[in-house]
Chains A and B, each alone.
Chain A
Amino acid sequence: MFKSVIYKEWLKIRLIVLIALGLSLLALINIFLKVRHDILFVDAANYWYSFLFRGRAYFMVLKFLPFVIGLAIAIAQYFPETVNKRIKLTFHLPVSENGVLIRMHAFGALVLVVLLALVLGLFVAGSAIFFPSNIIDASLITMLPWFLGGLATYFLVALVLLEPVWLFRGLYSVIAAGFVTFFFTSASIGAFKPVLLPLALITLLLSCVVLFSGYRFRKGEM
C-alpha cells in the first residue's frame, strides 16, 4: 500500500532528482577541476594559505545548491497536489490521512537526504585528494548549515504549498524566508560550529510541520 504512495511520489520527483543529481555532479566536477587548476598555477602551499588565512573557500559553488534542490523537490512533490486540490485524492485513499502525508513527506525527505549526503560524500572524497582532514573538517562545518538549510527549505515549502488559504501561505512564507536565511548567513569558515546541533535539531522538528497544513486542509480552511 505504501509502495503505491512511494510510486506516486517518485513519479513526481524523479525528473527533478535526476536534474539535481546532474547539477550536483557538475558543480562537484567544477570545484575539483578548479582546485586542481589553481594548485598547478599558484602552487599548493599558496592555495592552502588562501584557505587557511584569507578564508577563501573553494566550495562556494555549493552554497545554494541544497536550497535549490530542496525547493525543487518540495515544489515537484506538493505543487501537483495543490492544483485542483488534488490532495483530496490522497486523503481519500483508504489509509490514515496523517499516515499517508507522513509517508509522502518522509519519502521526499529521504530522497533529499540521500542526494545531499551523496554530494557531501563525493565532496569529501574529492577534497581528500588535495587537502588534509583539518581543511575538510572546517569545510564540512561551513557547508553543513547550507545542507541543513536545504532540508529546512523542503519542509517549510511543503508547509506553504499545502496550506489552503493564500493569506496564510504568505504569512508562512515570511517566517520560512526569515528562518531559512539563518542557514545562509555569511560567516567565516567554521563559524557555524556551535549552532550546528541546534540547527539540526530545529530542522528535525520542522520535518513534521507539513501535518499542520494537511490538518487545516482537512478541516476545511478556505
Chain B
Amino acid sequence: MIKFSRYILVATGILVASMVLPSLYWTIFEKVPRSPGVYYSCMNDDFIIVDGGSRLSPDGKAYTSDEYEQLLPLMFFRQLMADGTMPDSIRGVKMETPSISRASSFYRYTPRKLDSPVITLWPMLESESGKVNLAMPDDYFRIEKRMEFIVARTNKINEEKSQLFTEALTAEGFVFPADIIAGLPTTRKSHDEGYFITDSEGTLFHVKMVKGQPYVARIETPEKLDIVYIEAVDLRSREYYCYIVTRDQGIYVLMDEVYDLQRLPIDGFNPSQHSFRLNSDLFNKCITVYGENWYEAIAIDDMYDVVGTHGEKWESLYERSDGKIFASIFPFEIRMRDDNSAFVRFFFKPSPGYRWIIINLIALIVAVVLIMRRGWPLKSNIPDLLITAVTGIYGLVATQFFPNKFSKVKPPSKT
C-alpha cells in the first residue's frame, strides 16, 4: 500500500513534469510558426500570398502596398475609391459599392470548431416579422426527445409552441433527438434563416419560424452524407445557407432556396486536423486548406469551376531547430490544451524519432549514481531505473522528488 502510494506520487510527478517542463521550453524557445494568408486577384487571375509583413506572387515576386491593394480591388475598394484609383468596371461589370460588399464574405473553419463544448439551447428568431430589425425571442429551444421551447423568464416549457414544432418536425420524418444544430443565434445579421439540423439518423433538416409557425424542410442529400460539422453563414447575396463538412473529407455548401448541395473542389480534407478559409468576392472564391506545415489554395469562379491552384509546404515543427532540440531532450509531452480542440484533455504527444534516447540514458546514469552514492542496493531500485529509462528527465525528477526508502540502507563507509 505504501509502495503503491509512492508510485502514484511518482506518476503524478511525471505527469506534472511532462506538462510543465515542455511548456516552459516552448515559452522560451518556440519560434513563430508561418501562417500565410492567400487571396485570388481578379485583376491578374493569380494568387497573392500575405506572409508576415510581405505580399508575394506565387513565384516569389514582392508587391508594394499600393500594388497589393490594386490587385485586390474588391477587398480594398473603399481605399481605392478614396484614392480615386478604383476601376469603373472589371470584367465588364460596373463597380458599385453595394454589389461589391454584398458579394464579399470571409469564413474560417478550424478543427477546434468540430471539437468544442456546446450547450444545446438555441433562440429561434422570427424570420419574417415584417420588422426591419431582428429580435431575440424570450425562449430557447432544445431538441431531445422532442423539440421544447423554454421561456427564460419563468424557466418553464411553452407546451403549445413545443408541440407545434415537434409535430412539424415529426411530419417531415425527423427522428429525435437532434445531432448537430447550426444557426446564427444573433440579431446582428442581414436576415434569419433559422437552423440547419441533423436528426439522430443523420438526415439534414432546415427549421425556422415564419410568422410564428414552424417551417421544416427535409433536405434530400444526393448520397448519404456523414455530416460532422455545419456552419450557418449570413450572406447578403443569399448564395448559400451554410457550409457543411463531412467525414468523407468533403466540404459542401447548401445552396439557398433550392437546397442543392454543391461540393467544393477539395479532396482529402481532414476535418479534425485541417482548417480552411473561404474567401468570396464578386467573381471568385478562394478556398485555402491548411495543414500543420502546408496550404493548398484553390480559386473557383461563380460556377464553382476551378480557375487556379497554388500550394506551399514549409518546415514542420519537428524539422525546425526549436522542435528538433525539443525532440532530443523530451521523449514526449502532455498538454491539457491543444490548438485543434476547445476541450481540455490529456493530449499525449510523443516526440518523433529517437534522439531523446541519449538524454534518457544520461538521466538513467544520473539515477544510478545517486542511488549508489546513498548506499542503496540497485536491485530494489530497478522499477525506478526502468521508469527513468522510459520517461527520461520526467522520471528522474519524479523518482528523486519522492525518494525510494524501502530498501535497507548500507551504513556509510568510515572515513
A–B direct contact (CB < 8 Å): yes
Residues of A within 8 A of B (CB): 39, 43-49, 51-53, 98, 129-132, 134-135, 138, 141, 159, 168, 171-172, 174-175, 178-179, 182, 185, 187-195, 198, 202, 205-206, 208-212, 214-216, 219, 221
Which B residues lie within 8 Å of A187 (CB)? 337, 344
Nearest CB of A to B195, in Å: 14
B345 close to A195 (CB less than 8 A): yes
Say yes or no for B336: interface residue by CB 8 A criterion: yes
A-facing residues in B315-355 (Cβ within 8 Å): 336-337, 342-346
Contact A191 B123 (CB under 8 A): no
Closest to B119 in A: A138
Q: Is the CB of A44 within 8 A of B117?
A: no
Give B116-131 interface residues, CB cut-off 8 Å to A.
Answer: 116-123
**Nearest CB to that of A44 among chain B residues?**
B152
Let me know if B139 is at the binding interface, CB within 8 A.
yes
Q: Does B89 contact A (CB under 8 A)?
A: no
Check B20 against A45 for contact (C-beta < 8 Å): no
Interface check B113, CB cutoff 8 A: no
Q: Are B155 and A131 in contact (CB under 8 A)?
A: yes
A179 and B13 CA atoms in complex are apart in Å by 8
The CA-CA distance from A48 to B391 in the complex, in Å, is 47
Structural contact, B155 and A192, CB atoms closer than 8 A? no
Q: Is the CB of B152 within 8 A of A191?
A: no
Contact of A221 among B6, B13, B405 (CB under 8 A): B405
Docked Cα-Cα span, A175 to B403, in Å, equals: 14
B401 within 8 A of A: yes
Task: Select one of B120, B142, B153, B337 contacting A44, CB under 8 A.
Answer: B153
In the complex, what residue of chain B is closest to A132 when comparing beta carbons? B150
Q: Do A188 and B2 have beta carbons less than 8 Å apart? A: no
Q: Provide the residues of chain A in CB contact with B122, threshold 8 Å.
A: 52
Q: Write out the residue numbers on chain B whose beta carbons fall within 8 Å of the beta carbon of A53.
A: 185-186
Closest-CB distance, A62 to chain B (whole angstroms) = 18
CB distance from A145 to the nearest CB of B (A): 8
Q: How many residues of B contact A (CB 8 A)?
A: 45
In the assembled complex, the Cα of A141 lies from the Cα of B155 at a distance in Å of 21
Instruction: Tell whether, in the assembled complex, residue B9 and residue A212 are in contact, meaning their CB atoms are under 8 Å apart.
Output: yes
What are some 14 contacts across the A-B interface (CB < 8 A)? A45-B136, A45-B140, A52-B119, A53-B186, A129-B155, A130-B155, A132-B140, A132-B142, A179-B15, A192-B343, A194-B345, A208-B1, A211-B2, A215-B405
Q: Which residues of B contact A211 (CB under 8 A)?
A: 1-2, 5
Q: A179 touching B152 by the CB < 8 A rule?
A: no
Q: Is the CB of B9 within 8 A of A49?
A: no
Give the CA-CA distance A196 to B93 in the complex, in Å: 58
Q: Are B344 and A52 in contact (CB under 8 A)?
A: no
Residues 1-14 of chain B: 1 if any A CB is under 8 Å from the residue's CB, otherwise 0? 11011101100110
Q: Contact between A191 and B343 (Cβ–Cβ < 8 Å)?
A: yes
Contact B117 A206 (CB under 8 A): no
Beta-carbon contact of B346 and A195 below 8 Å: yes
A182 to chain B, nearest CB (A): 6
Kindly list chain B residues whose C-beta atoms are within 8 Å of the C-beta of A192: 343-344
Contacts of B212 in A (CB 8 A): none
Given A179-B12, A212-B5, A215-B2: A135 and B342 interface contact (C-beta under 8 Å): no
Closest 9 CB pairs of A and B: A190-B117, A44-B152, A178-B16, A45-B152, A44-B153, A171-B401, A212-B5, A215-B2, A138-B119
